């Protein structure tokens, strides 16, 4: 790689002179069992070319059959995005050659998308609401995947061979396209990130996609153009393809603003082209000149009938929509009386759903929060895993909380019980049994330990009798030691007070 092939304008200067206009195209892979037009598995991660069939390989005579679940979920996404749902929509062929696409065309929707004219309300970092208008959400199929060998950075440039894997060919995709986003100014990069963040959360909450940007089940193309401040006509846009993290979405927009401004300022024309995003330095580089829709020779796919979405079906699907994630968050924050900061900590720790599930098992929100946000987050950190994958279920957490409340475990013993669960020793009750963690309730044994500790510490007894009631720590400590930590401190304190009264 040679030195940077771009020059940038200072961000503040960009904003004095230019007004950004953005458009975001987001591809979401649906988590259906099977492909959009055939019966092979749509799951990620199988050995190359094992999830294939005549249709997804484009073999002669193979015919596509529409996946009803795919259509249902497309409608679900459309409804959640406040779109109109077409009663009748069509599949079209988008014709082009690429080695990851055996048929030589992609089945997509063109002038008759299933969902159109919607919006998504998002919230920026400082709480400012922002409405993103949605142009359309349409159904299509994913392409296969190429792996380029021999090049420096996995790109085709410099590669000596390329491998084709058709597992992904035919996996259902929903492409969600915004209307041009105007007026964001300096916040354009942040608006882009906030939108993709909200959209990602939304499709996950709908249960239609795992929306893993790192695995490509959610991919973003970001269009950006600049126009002189005070003008209304759109400038020429570039389209940065396949951005695969939230941070990169923000950076790609910012970079294009600064790069395009430098070009325009220096009399260079912006060409309508695709660009690649470089994870390494947050830059974009030239891709191919942008083709127009005419180049694709779209026409209705003669193998597929129109998609009919009767109104009753649409209403049935609407009735299954869950509470929107951010609406739910606001409601829970209110119900649990959490400050913004407390709520943010809990969301950032990935603990919200786990706490909700723990509360559903009978704990109070505070009890559940104490476990997940402090002790278990720490354990997850140490293990280098997401909190969700730490290895303890909400049911197990609720169980130790109940045992603590019944006085059967101290907090310390409860942590040991959870440690045992984390270590794979079984569920809470099994660990307690195997490790012998129950609080000793045998008054005789505890009383004996208290008597012995008092006898061994006459100086403390003397101070206590002289009126200093804060000296019992050493006695409690000795009793704990004698009972191997299984006495209930409250009970021990009570006994000491009785004996020394």
User: Is 274 a binder of ligand ADP (CB under 6 A)?
Assistant: no
- Residue 282 buriedness (CB in 10 A; 0-12 / 13-18 / 19+): middle
Which residue, 96 or 234, has its beta carbon nearer to ligand ADP? 234
User: Is 263 a binder of ligand ADP (CB under 6 A)?
Assistant: no
Q: Three-state SS for 192? A: helix
Q: At which residue do the structure tokens 């505070």 appear?
A: 366
CA distance 178 to 373: 36
Which residue, 171 or 184, has its beta carbon nearer to ligand ADP? 184
Tokens coding 245: 């993290």
Binding to ligand ADP, residues 129-158 (CB under 6 A): 135
CA distance 414 to 399: 10
Residue 18 contacts residue 227 (beta carbons within 8 Å): yes
Which residue, 23 or 64, has its beta carbon nearer to ligand ADP? 23
Strands 238-243 and 273-278: parallel
User: Is 410 a binder of ligand ADP (CB under 6 A)?
Assistant: no
In the complex, minimum distance from the CB of residue 61 to ligand ADP, in angstroms, rounded to a whole number: 31
Cα 118 to the center of its chain, rounded Å: 22
In the complex, minimum distance from the CB of residue 151 to Mg ion, in angstroms, rounded to a whole number: 27
In the complex, minimum distance from the CB of residue 27 to Mg ion, in angstroms, rounded to a whole number: 9
| Concatenated DSSP letters of 342-390 | HHHHHHHTT-HHHHHHHHHTT--HHHHHIIIIIIIHHHHHHHTS-GGGS
Q: Which residue in the shown chain puts its C-beta closest to ligand ADP? A: 23
Q: How many residues does the chain have?
A: 501
Interface with ligand ADP (CB under 6 A), residue total: 16
User: Is 234 a binder of ligand ADP (CB under 6 A)?
Assistant: yes
Binding to ligand ADP, residues 7-66 (CB under 6 A): 21-25
Quick one: which segment of 178-186, 199-207, 208-216, 263-271 binds ligand ADP (CB under 6 A)? 178-186
Binding to Mg ion, residues 21-50 (CB under 5 A): 25
Which residue, 180 or 207, has its beta carbon nearer to ligand ADP? 180
Task: Work out the angle at residue 144's Cα, subtended by the Cα atoms of residues 139 and 150, and round it to the nearest 5 degrees.
Answer: 145
Q: Of 38, 178, 283, 396, which one interacts with ligand ADP (CB under 6 A)? A: 178
CA distance 387 to 376: 7
Which residue, 97 or 436, has its beta carbon nearer to ligand ADP? 97
Task: Work out the angle at residue 10's Cα, subtended by the Cα atoms of residues 7 and 11, and round it to the nearest 5 degrees.
Answer: 120
Quick one: which segment of 49-57, 218-226, 379-387, 403-411 binds ligand ADP (CB under 6 A)? 218-226
Residue 311 contacts residue 73 (beta carbons within 8 Å): no
Which residue, 25 or 438, has its beta carbon nearer to Mg ion? 25
Task: Work out the angle at residue 207's Cα, subtended by the Cα atoms of residues 202 and 209, and round it to the nearest 5 degrees.
Answer: 80
- Residue 187 buriedness (CB in 10 A; 0-12 / 13-18 / 19+): middle
Binding to ligand ADP, residues 289-318 (CB under 6 A): 293
Proportion of the chain in helix, strand, coil states, percent, rounded to 5: 40, 20, 40
In the complex, minimum distance from the CB of residue 132 to ligand ADP, in angstroms, rounded to a whole number: 10
Which residue, 179 or 408, has its beta carbon nearer to ligand ADP? 179
Binding to Mg ion, residues 412-471 (CB under 5 A): none
Instruction: Report the partner that residue 234 touches, choosing among Mg ion, ligand ADP, none (CB closer than 5 to 8 A by kind).
Output: ligand ADP
In the complex, minimum distance from the CB of residue 226 to Mg ion, in angstroms, rounded to a whole number: 20
Which residue, 25 or 353, has its beta carbon nearer to Mg ion? 25
Tokens coding 372: 């997940």
Instruction: Report the partner that residue 454 touches, choosing among Mg ion, ligand ADP, none (CB closer than 5 to 8 A by kind).
Output: none
CA distance 127 to 246: 18
Instruction: Report the partner that residue 23 touches, choosing among ligand ADP, Mg ion, none (CB closer than 5 to 8 A by kind).
Output: ligand ADP
Residues that bind ligand ADP (CB under 6 A): 21-25, 135, 177-180, 223-225, 234, 237, 293
């Amino acid at each position: 790689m040679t030195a940077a092939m771009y020059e940038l304008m200072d961000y503040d200067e960009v904003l004095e002179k230019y007004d950004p206009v953005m458009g975001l195209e987001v591809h979401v892979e649906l988590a259906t069992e099977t492909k959009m037009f055939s019966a092979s598995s749509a799951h990620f991660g199988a050995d190359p070319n094992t999830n294939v069939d005549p249709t997804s390989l484009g073999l002669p005579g193979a015919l596509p059959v529409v996946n009803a679940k795919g259509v249902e979920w497309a409608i679900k996404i459309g409804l959640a995005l406040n779109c109109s749902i077409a009663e009748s929509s069509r599949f079209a062929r988008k014709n082009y050659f690429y080695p990851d696409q055996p048929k030589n065309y992609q089945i997509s929707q063109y002038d008759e998308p299933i969902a159109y004219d919607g919006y998504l309300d998002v919230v920026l970092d400082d709480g400012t609401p922002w409405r993103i208008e949605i142009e359309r959400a349409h159904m299509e199929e994913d392409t296969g995947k190429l792996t380029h060998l021999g090049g420096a950075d996995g790109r085709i440039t410099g590669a000596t061979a390329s491998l084709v894997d058709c597992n992904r060919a035919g996996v259902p995709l929903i492409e969600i396209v915004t209307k041009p986003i105007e007026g964001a100014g300096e916040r354009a990069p942040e608006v882009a990130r906030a939108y993709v963040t909200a959209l990602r959360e939304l499709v996950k909450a709908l249960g239609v996609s795992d929306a893993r940007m790192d695995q490509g089940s959610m991919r973003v193309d970001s269009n950006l153009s600049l126009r002189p401040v005070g003008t209304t006509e759109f400038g020429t846009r570039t389209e940065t393809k396949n951005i695969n993290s939230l941070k990169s979405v923000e950076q790609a927009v910012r970079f294009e603003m600064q790069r395009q401004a430098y070009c325009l300022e220096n009399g260079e024309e912006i060409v309508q082209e695709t660009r690649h995003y470089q994870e390494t330095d947050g830059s974009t580089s030239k891709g191919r000149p942008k083709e127009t829709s005419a180049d694709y020779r779209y026409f209705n796919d003669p193998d597929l009938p129109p998609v009919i979405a009767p109104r009753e079906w649409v209403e049935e699907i609407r009735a299954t929509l869950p509470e929107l994630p951010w609406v739910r968050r606001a409601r829970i924050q209110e119900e649990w009386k959490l400050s913004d900061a407390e709520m943010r900590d809990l969301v950032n720790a990935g603990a919200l759903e786990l706490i909700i599930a723990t509360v559903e098992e009978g704990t109070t929100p505070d009890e559940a929060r104490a476990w997940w946000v402090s002790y278990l987050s720490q354990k997850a950190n140490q293990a280098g895993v997401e909190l969700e994958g730490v290895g303890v279920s909400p049911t197990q957490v609720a169980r130790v909380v109940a045992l603590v409340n019944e006085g059967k475990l101290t907090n310390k013993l409860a942590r040991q019980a959870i440690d045992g669960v984390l270590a794979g020793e079984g569920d809470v009750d099994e660990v307690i049994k195997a490790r012998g963690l129950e609080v000793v309730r045998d008054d005789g044994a505890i009383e004996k330990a208290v008597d012995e500790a008092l006898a061994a510490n006459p100086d403390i007894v003397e101070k206590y009798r002289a009126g200093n009631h804060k000296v019992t720590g050493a006695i409690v400590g000795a009793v704990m030691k004698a009972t191997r930590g299984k006495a209930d401190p409250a009970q021990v304190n009570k006994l000491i007070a009785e004996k020394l009264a």
